[in-house]
Structure 1
Amino acid sequence: MVAALRDFLDAVAAAGPDTATTVHLTQDLRAWIGRLAEFAVPEGRQLWARRLDLPGHGQTMAPSFVVVSGDQHSVHGTVTFGRYFLGGGGAAHGGAVPLLFDEVLGQLANSGDRPPSRTAYLHTDYRSITPIGEELEVRGWFVSEQGRKRILRAEITHGETLCAEAEGLFIALRPEQP
């Protein structure tokens, strides 16, 4: 269902439907919203963003990062920004890039037996166009960890071209923090 929703969002982004098609799609979507409403559950039981076995934990807001290898110190994977993330001129939207970095570094910051953390800052440097529709390499790694502070870095490359890089500070939550 999540993969189909990703494909649907890419198709919507690429389409210029006529009025009749837009009206019919709107009606179909509203019907599906009604069907899903009866299955609403509290946040702790929802599937969205909680499926650890799916890219993006099963949510479509972030680009689909697929892990190739990794451990609690580093991660390597791929991402293909679909049409849904188009910013213009064949490039990924500038906001989609840090969204991906936050997803990748957040997963890494919380890996192993570390207590959960939250993003304190995420600094992104854009080095070249991040193309859509191309498989890109993503790497993330720990720089340091002191007390509750975790500093991590990541990069996106397209072949030999560095598209973007990031540094993030993640702070481990105290036991009483949600």
Structure 2
Amino acid sequence: MDLEQIIQATKKQMPLSRWEHTLRVRDMALELAEQQAEIQSHQVELAAILHDYCKFWSDEQLVAWIQEKSLPEELLLYNKEIWHGPVGAEVAREKWGVLEEDVLNAIRYHTTGRPNMSVLEKIIFLADYIEPGRQFPGIDEIRKWAKLDLDQALLQSLENTIMFLIRRKQKVYPLTFITRNYYLDRVKENSKS
């Protein structure tokens, strides 16, 4: 698996603006990872580069992968914006030979989150959410928290996402609610100790 080859192939999968986003996510993820002793930078870079690999695939391509790879069919009942994460993890495994489950999970759950995320998963989720090109209400506070407490930053970003979807009268993927509740409990528990 040649990272430079993956970088060039990923760049070809998306418009320039999304590629620039991908580079900002990589840089933000590497910055967040500096504070975490157990994180290897090659895993961070690999997950960040591949996180949106399938973002601009056609709906038909994404649906075909969801069905062929026996991914949760319930994905198809929700906004297609979440499809590229699970499909991207499968593509990373099959096309690029990525076998590190932590990297695959970081790609798979970067839009929905999941309970008990690894540090790498949290970093990719948050880097995608707070990279410098993003601007929306509340993001500066989440950026501050991301450098102090990944769980608190995750909780706030999940709550923002849920409220955004509710205001737009869109369905919220159940795993995102479950993840928010998990991190709410975790943040409360950590504040007691």
TM over 0.5: no
Question: Which protein has the bigger helix share?
Answer: 2
Question: Which protein has the bigger strand share?
Answer: 1
Q: TM-score, normalization: structure 2? A: 0.27
Q: TM-score, normalization: structure 1? A: 0.28
- The structure with higher relative contact order (CA 8 Å, sep 6+) is 2
Higher Rg of the two aligned structures: 1
